[in-house]
Amino acid sequence: MERNLRELRVLSVGELEMTPLFIPTRNRPTALSNMLRYLVRFYPSTHVIIADGSSENYKSLNRQTVDALKHELAIDYRPYPADLPIFDRMLDVLRSESFEFVINGSDDDFPMIDTLREGEAFLRDHQDYSTAIGMLVNLWLDSPVELRTQMFPIRPIVANSALSRVRQYAADHYLFATAYGVARREALIERYERSGKFFLVSFIDYTLGIYDCLHGKIKALPKVGFICTRNYGHAYLRTEAGLQYLRRSSEVLQQADQFRKDLMQYAGLDEETAKKESAHLIKERIRVLVRRFPHKMRAFNRRPTDPIVQEQFDIFDAMFEQGTPARAEYEERLTFIIQAMKANAESDDNKGERKKTETLESQMEMLAGGP
């Protein structure tokens, strides 16, 4: 039965003209609250759209948070049925809007809105670019006393040829995901239509990046775009066991066929050439999954470092050194984020859920029997 999703929408603040930060959430009221309070403190003018697919008890907590902050942030809160998959929720929001651009977010990843606004301004002036992304800084809270970090530099991908862009992205894919940035709404709709058809946790960021490169160039911003967090308490869509690309080989082959069609449509390849290039793209991803990383190959150190990438490395190093300008710039936000991570890990977020689920279907099954 078709759902009348428009009846589910609850709007706490009127529509604004500014590009929104779009946050899908599910069963993480503490994380969502901390994310919104981060925005209140550091970016109070942000327009936020929340697509909530939580269970009813968690929805109640989210509504309380939204009600408490509705006068401090422009919050458009939209509850959805708990059994509606994430990409259906996301597509319903994106299709209902008229904004040209959207900033993709998450309930536990913290955006640098100033960086992303610069990306938005760039996209407005450069129609041949599909997305603009700042470097990603990942923080993992592995236990109450263990915190580690890693950066994912964003490489500019600016070839005029769609095939050249895809090849460059595939060769260095493990370094960054294109989802954490500002992008054109119409491109996002097609991006997530695809994601709902072919979802493999070990492939999803890769397939999104391939599509984004086919759709246009990638703008790399030499600043922090998001500080992404993971903690020992939350549940995540992750590979449950090894050799997923063999266990789910039929889905990998489906993805290969989608690549073939995309290369014919966007890169203008004939069917036989597109089939060969598609096979190459799949092999490139599997190469990384079997731990044959580009940086472990003999010729890696002889490759020149892009100045924009080097600038990102320099910022990351300085962020974690006392007395540097980068540390002074980000320290207050980092302190807030680390405190939020600890609170998220110790909360009832995702209570009773497995720490890892591999498919959207298993996530929904788990949710049906959860809190």
Res. 298 pLDDT band, cuts 50 70 90: low
Q: According to the model, what pLDDT value does residue 365 have?
A: 64
pLDDT in tens, 327-344: 999 999 999 999 999 999
CA pair distance 72, 48, nearest whole angstrom: 11
Closest CA to 167 of 176, 156, 154, 157: 157
pLDDT value of position 328: 97
267 pLDDT more than 70: yes
Give span(s): CATH 3.40.50.80, the chain: 9-99
> For 197-237, what is each residue's pLDDT tens digit?
778 888 889 999 999 999 999 999 999 999 999 999 999 87
Res. 40 pLDDT band, cuts 50 70 90: very high
Exposed/middle/buried for 28, CB within 10 Å: 0-12, 13-18, 19+? buried
% pLDDT > 70, the chain: 88
For residues 129-157, one letter each, b for 16 or more C-beta atoms within 10 angstroms of the residue's C-beta and e for the rest, the string is bbbbbbbbbebebeeeeeeeeebbbbbbb
Tens digits of per-residue pLDDT, 136-191?
A: 999 999 999 999 999 999 999 999 999 999 999 998 755 688 999 999 999 999 98
Of the candidates 340, 323, 247, which has an alpha carbon nearest to the alpha carbon of residue 36?
340
The reply to whether CATH 3.40.50.1820 applies to domain 9-99 is: no
Please report the pLDDT score of residue 302 as a whole number: 55
State pLDDT tens for residues 77-127.
999 999 998 999 999 999 999 999 999 999 999 999 999 999 999 999 999
Residue 133: strand pairing partners = 220
Residue predicted with more confidence, 240 or 35? 35
The confidence score (pLDDT) of residue 1 equals: 32
The total of other beta-carbon atoms located within 10 Å of residue 328's CB is 12
Q: Which tokens hold the place of 214?
A: 């086919």
Phi, psi of 259 (to 5 degrees): -60, -40
> Is the pLDDT reported for residue 8 higher than 70?
no
One-letter amino acid at 353 equals E
Predicted TM-score (pTM) of the model is 0.90
Average pLDDT score, the chain? 89
Is residue 264 pLDDT above 70, yes or no?
Answer: yes
Q: Which helix (H) or strand (E) holds 62?
A: helix 56-69
- CA distances in angstroms from 120 to 52, 117, 137, 268, 363, listed in the order given: 25, 5, 20, 28, 33
